[in-house]
Amino acid sequence: MKILYITAGAADMYCGSCLADNALARELMAQGHEVTLLPLYTPTRTDEPNVSQQRVFFGGISVYLEQRLPLFRKSPWFLDRLWDSPSVIKAASSRWVRTDPRLLGELTVSVLRGEDGFQRKEILKLLHWLSREAPPEFVNLPNSLLIGLARPIKKSLNRPVV
């Protein structure tokens, strides 16, 4: 079975969700399933061999810039790749991660709004990438904070999103 499993990275920290998502993906692979573990926001960090993709979607820097500065909601994708690279994200997150609850609340609501949020461009980038890959049999969104992705992914792939 071909499975797309989307996971949210937690910057340079060990994260229970990242660890669990990675462990589940590894076990499914060991059972013969083809699993793509796709990180959002930042690369994942695990204490076991990491099976996630190297490419990061919804790069944490892009998501922040799109939330705060409307200009970045329309910036060309090739420019976004500069600050969406895993090495740039890791460097930035190890130095400048702040958790201002007001900003995080606004950002969370925007991401939950999916295509109607300020991160619409990030959804389009993800859908573009998915259109070039062999479609999975289903897509797993492991937590409710990713629910804004369900409708556009289901519409694009015509596959179950769980």
Which of helix, strand or coil describes residue 35?
strand
Q: Tell whether the model's pLDDT for residue 14 goes beyond 80.
A: no
Beta partners for 6?
A: 38
pTM for this predicted structure: 0.89
Q: What is the mean pLDDT of residues 52-79?
A: 92
Section 43-65 average pLDDT: 90
Residue 100 scores a pLDDT above 60? yes
Domain chopping of the chain, boundaries: 2-157
Strand order in the sheet with 34-40: 34-40, 2-8, 138-140
Burial (CB count within 10 angstroms: exposed 0-12, middle 13-18, buried 19+), residue 40? buried
